[in-house]
């Protein structure tokens, strides 16, 4: 049974809604419930018990429920359980009443047979629009666009364009931009709602539209689409195919979701864990984290094996073992910092070779400067502490080298992964830290080996 997912902040108001449901007072429920903002309606819905929600389905139309589910779709991890509470036809009508892109997001969470059932029960046009979006690859412009937009032709007046706008506005996701197309639906221009309002009704659309239209290709990656929204500061962008045919639009609210998804993905990668993990069951949470931990465990064993190769060196100068964790820990931290910067720059750049090379060189230079300052500092401290400047010099030079190499790895590995088509955030912080352990141990003991005769 699906339990309440949220605690509604206005407890007294929630109790009023529950009372109307328990009293089966439909008129009072509708008057009270529909007076709230859609967001509050969604929070009330999520705070109810399953039997209370089932009563709601009898009191609210599928269209009213679809408006609310536009909000719910963004608030919960999975909507499948909620859809299964509903009558199949009711659920299909509700999905058909949503904007197509949001309905697709929900349908992608369901099993194929359930998707086919809902599409079969929907009105033909709604099912056609949704099927078209379902065919696009995930994380592309096509997957997040909506076909609900307003388009007009160039050889008409502002007066006739306003009439079209009024007729299409109720179903359009946004009316702030009106797109101008030819008879083949090829995108030829754009104008804003303001352009229609401020111009004379008898002016031709061709005279006031802008022919310089910023658009995105239907197969373009959603991150690149987000960059265009940032660069051009727009509320919506048209989506076209290779023939410049207008297929749909992407609105800024969808891009906010994309930015949030990408940020979560990057944070999850850097931590080596799903940061949106919602399960309170420790066993479930542990099962999701263990693959990374086991992998890192074996990588860590590589570090232990490497140290074992220098047992003779450590036996001759046991003081070296005291500072192993100091060097590995500091280089690991430096590598993670470099990784975070590199992943961020990959996301912001246009992936030009010169930008990526500049990022690597910049991080190596930063690592060298950081390593130099850190190395000199630790050399002075250990020299004064242990009264052994040979030892302190070994540790200081090892620190300089280890941090420089860690910065190189932290910037180079995610860039290489990006070039190979993998998510650069997968080069997580724990992975870079473990890799830095290996290289810093190798650097430290090889430098020490050359000075062992002086050190003993």
What are the percentages of helix, strand and coil residues in the chain, rounded to 5? 70, 10, 25
Residue with tokens 């029960």: 121
Write the DSSP string, 300-344: HHHHHHHHHTTHHHHHH-GGGGGGHHHHHHHHHHHHHHHHHHHHH
Using DSSP bridges, classify how beta strands 246-251 and 216-217 pair: parallel, antiparallel or unpaired.
unpaired
pLDDT in tens, the chain (456 residues): 455 544 445 677 888 899 999 888 899 999 999 999 888 898 899 889 999 999 999 999 999 999 999 888 766 667 888 999 999 999 999 999 999 988 998 998 899 999 999 999 999 999 999 998 998 988 899 999 999 999 999 999 999 999 999 999 988 889 999 999 999 999 999 999 999 999 999 999 999 999 999 999 999 988 889 889 988 989 999 999 999 999 999 999 888 877 776 665 655 555 555 555 555 567 766 676 667 667 767 767 777 777 778 777 777 677 778 888 888 888 888 888 888 787 777 766 555 555 778 888 888 999 999 999 999 999 999 989 888 888 889 999 999 999 999 999 888 888 887 777 766 665 566 777 778 888 888 898 888 888 766 655
Q: In this structure, are residues 250 and 225 in contact, taking their beta carbons and an 8 Å threshold?
A: yes
- What are the φ and ψ backbone dihedral angles of 289, each rounded to 5 degrees? -90, -25
Q: In this structure, are residues 315 and 408 in contact, taking their beta carbons and an 8 Å threshold?
A: no
Give CA 255 to chain center in angstroms.
Answer: 10
Q: In this structure, are residues 82 and 48 in contact, taking their beta carbons and an 8 Å threshold?
A: no
Alpha-carbon distance values, 454 to 394, 443, 448 (Å): 11, 18, 10
How many CB atoms lie under 10 A from the CB of residue 96?
23
- 3-class DSSP state of 156: coil
Q: In this structure, are residues 151 and 179 in contact, taking their beta carbons and an 8 Å threshold?
A: yes
* pLDDT at residue 6, rounded to an integer: 47
- 3-class DSSP state of 214: coil
Q: What fold characterizes domain 11-137?
A: MgtE N-terminal fold (1.25.60)
- What are the φ and ψ backbone dihedral angles of 248, each rounded to 5 degrees? 175, -170
Alpha-carbon distance values, 94 to 17, 60, 61, 102 (Å): 22, 11, 8, 11
**Alpha carbon distance 401, 327 (integer Å):** 10
Q: What homologous superfamily is domain 151-251 in, according to CATH?
A: CBS-domain (3.10.580.10)
Write the DSSP string, 160-182: HHHHHHHHHGGG-S--SEEEEE-
- What are the φ and ψ backbone dihedral angles of 118, each rounded to 5 degrees? -65, -40
**Alpha carbon distance 361, 353 (integer Å):** 12
Angle separating helix axes 100-107 and 88-97, nearest 10 degrees:
140
* pLDDT at residue 84, rounded to an integer: 92
Q: In this structure, are residues 288 and 273 in contact, taking their beta carbons and an 8 Å threshold?
A: yes
Write the DSSP string, 368-429: HHHHHHHHHHHHHHHHHHHS-HHHHHHHHHHHHHHHHHHHHHHHHHHHHHHHTTS-GGGS-H
Q: What fold characterizes domain 282-455?
A: Tetracycline Repressor; domain 2 (1.10.357)
- What are the φ and ψ backbone dihedral angles of 447, each rounded to 5 degrees? -65, -45
* pLDDT at residue 88, rounded to an integer: 95
**Alpha carbon distance 319, 451 (integer Å):** 13
Topology alike, domains 11-137 and 282-455: no
Give the domain ranges of the chain: 11-137, 151-251, 282-455
How many C-alpha atoms does 262 have within 13 Å on its Cβ side?
Answer: 22
Q: In this structure, are residues 320 and 445 in contact, taking their beta carbons and an 8 Å threshold?
A: yes
Choose among 431, 71, 105: nearest CA to 268: 431
Task: Lay out the sheet containing 216-217: strands in order across.
Answer: 216-217, 236-240, 246-251
Query: What pairs with residue 146 in β-bridges?
Result: 249
Q: In this structure, are residues 191 and 236 in contact, taking their beta carbons and an 8 Å threshold?
A: no
How does DSSP classify residue 83? H
């Amino acid at each position: 049974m699906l339990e309440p997912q949220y605690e509604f902040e206005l407890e007294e108001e929630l109790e009023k809604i529950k009372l109307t449901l328990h009293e089966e007072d439909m008129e009072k429920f509708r008057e009270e419930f529909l007076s709230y903002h859609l967001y509050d309606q969604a929070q009330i819905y999520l705070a109810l018990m399953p039997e209370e929600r089932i009563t709601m389905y009898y009191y609210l139309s599928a269209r009213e429920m679809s408006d609310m589910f536009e909000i719910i779709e963004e608030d919960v991890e999975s909507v499948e359980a909620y859809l299964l509470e509903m009558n199949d036809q009711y659920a299909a009508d509700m999905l058909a009443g949503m904007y197509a892109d949001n309905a697709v997001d929900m349908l992608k969470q369901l099993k194929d047979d359930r998707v086919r059932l809902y599409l079969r029960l929907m009105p033909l046009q709604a099912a056609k629009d949704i099927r078209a979006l379902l065919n696009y690859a995930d994380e592309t412009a096509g997957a997040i666009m909506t076909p609900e937009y307003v388009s007009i032709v160039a050889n008409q007046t502002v007066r006739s364009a306003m009439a079209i706008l009024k007729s299409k506005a109720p179903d359009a996701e946004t009316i702030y931009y009106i797109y101008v197309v030819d008879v083949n639906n090829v995108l030829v221009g754009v104008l804003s709602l303001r352009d229609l309002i401020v111009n004379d009704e008898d002016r031709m659309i061709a005279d006031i539209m802008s022919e310089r239209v910023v658009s995105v290709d239907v197969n373009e990656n959603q991150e690149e689409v987000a960059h265009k929204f940032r660069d051009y500061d727009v509320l919506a962008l048209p989506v076209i195919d290779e023939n410049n045919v207008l297929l749909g639009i992407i609105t800024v609210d969808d891009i906010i979701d994309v930015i949030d998804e990408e940020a979560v993905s990057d944070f999850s990668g850097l931590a080596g864990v799903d940061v949106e993990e919602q399960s309170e069951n420790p066993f479930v949470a542990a099962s999701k984290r263990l693959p990374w931990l086991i992998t890192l465990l074996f990588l860590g064993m590589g570090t232990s094996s490497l140290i074992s190769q220098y047992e003779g060196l450590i036996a001759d100068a046991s003081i070296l073992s005291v500072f192993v964790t100091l060097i590995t820990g500091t280089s690991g931290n430096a590598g993670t910092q470099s990784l975070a910067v590199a992943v961020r720059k990959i996301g912001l750049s246009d992936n030009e070779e010169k930008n990526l090379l500049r990022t690597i060189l910049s991080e190596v230079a930063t690592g060298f400067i950081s390593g130099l300052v850190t190395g000199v500092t630790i050399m002075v401290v250990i020299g004064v502490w242990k009264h052994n400047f040979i030892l302190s010099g070994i540790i200081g030079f090892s620190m300089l080298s280890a941090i420089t190499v860690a910065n190189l790895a932290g910037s180079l590995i995610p860039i290489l992964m990006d070039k190979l088509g993998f998510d650069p955030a997968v080069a997580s912080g724990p992975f870079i830290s473990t890799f830095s352990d290996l290289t810093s141990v190798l650097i430290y003991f090889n430098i020490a080996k050359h000075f062992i005769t002086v050190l003993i």
